[in-house]
Amino acid sequence: MTHNTSIEHFYAKIRNTHLYQHDKDVIGFTDVVVFGVQSLEGRALTFHVLMDNGAMRSRVPIHMLCWKEDAPLQELHELQLWDCFGDDISITKFNYLDEMRVQVLFKDKTIEWGSYVMTFDWYNNSSSEEPTQYKCGHFIRLDNGNYTIQPNNRLLWKDMSFTDKPFPTNPDWLVDNKKWICEKVANKWVVDSNDYYCYDFKKIKDEE
């Protein structure tokens, strides 16, 4: 199990209230470097940060991080829609999406623009292996100063040279419910029995 994984570090701010068990009377921010994440099944994804005074904090939830001090305080369940599916997590920064602009549709139907940073994906768990339950989480730097982690169906991307069609008003697309396995029909085919590198396939007759 991975639990903890490095990410490409970035500079942010931690809300000081997090340092005092979320005392609402504590105000202000501390500059931090965010350098790692921790994934625990059934919990929110949290972050490892180094503060500018040399102290380190772990398990910092996303709503306690921001990148500008006038960022509104949004609830955790708004900024991360789903808990972690498991302890094993992968982090990918898709080159094509790097810094791409994207609209986030929140639970309350409000929309906020942001920019892509990286993608979190989970594996070795029952939810991620079930096609209708699978979700990855895209980490977005919001224009309002916060960060968010959202699945594909809460995001609308803008590639200035490609996405020139309007989004459907009421799309009726369905969730993919299939596990795609290329060897599912292997019982109908057999490999020629030889030692040649460039082997061939032949179809098994029904009567065989």
Q: Residue 92 forms beta bridges with which residues?
A: 119
DSSP string, 179-198: ---TTTTGGGEEE--S--SS
Domain ranges of the chain: 4-158
Tens-place pLDDT, residues 49-94: 999 999 999 999 999 999 999 999 999 999 999 999 999 999 999 9
Distance CA 150, CA 98 (A): 16
Task: Count the helices and strands in the chain (H runs, E runs).
Answer: 2, 13
Residue 137's Cβ-side half-sphere holds a number of Cα atoms within 13 Å equal to 26
Tell me the two tokens of residue 111: 């929309």
Tens-place pLDDT, residues 156-191: 999 988 888 888 777 787 878 888 877 776 666 666
C-beta separation of 85 from 41 below 8 A: yes
What pTM, to 2 d.p., does this model score? 0.88
